């Protein structure tokens, strides 16, 4: 099982990146999507707080998501909004604005 919980804070930020619509539009051509993602990648940096933390920019977080969970986690809602499916089984079909059960945890 992939360590999604470890990636979750960075993935939350990645879900709002302007790169996400272009990646979703490029799929299912994984080579084209990977080329777009590779163009946007920047180096991560270490930040010292109480503990050392790794600061990931949103494109790198998306890259980690693809490595850990696969391209199928990048989806597009029926309304056209791209989103990152962060559910355990990658079962979400709609963006957060169109969840079928109001009040359901996102």
Q: How confident is the model over 6-45, as pLDDT tens digits?
A: 556 666 767 778 888 999 999 999 989 888 888 888 777 7
Please name every residue paired with 103 in a beta bridge, in sequence order, or none if there are none: none
- C-alpha distances in angstroms, 55 versus 60, 63, 64, 79? 10, 14, 13, 32
Tens of pLDDT, residue by residue over 50-68, are 888 777 788 888 888 888 8
Tell me the C-alpha distance between 88 and 79, whole Å.
23
The answer to pTM > 0.75 is no
Question: Whole-angstrom Cα distance, residue 60 to residue 10?
Answer: 9
Residue 53 tokens read as 């933390």
Q: Which domains does the chain have, with CATH numbers?
A: 4-90 (1.10.3300.10)
Question: What is the dihedral angle through the alpha carbons of 63, 69, 70, 76, rounded to the nearest 10 degrees?
Answer: -90
| Residues paired with 84 in a beta bridge | 74
């Amino acid at each position: 099982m992939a360590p999604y919980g470890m990636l979750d804070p960075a993935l939350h930020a990645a879900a709002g990146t302007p790169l996400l619509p272009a990646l979703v539009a490029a799929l299912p051509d994984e080579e084209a999507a990977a080329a777009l993602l590779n163009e946007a990648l920047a180096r991560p940096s270490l930040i010292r707080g109480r503990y050392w933390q790794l600061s990931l920019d949103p494109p790198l977080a998306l890259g980690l998501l693809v490595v850990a969970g696969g391209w199928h986690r990048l989806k597009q809602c029926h309304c056209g909004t791209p989103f990152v499916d962060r559910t355990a089984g990658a079962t979400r079909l709609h963006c957060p604005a169109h969840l079928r059960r109001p009040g359901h945890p996102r």
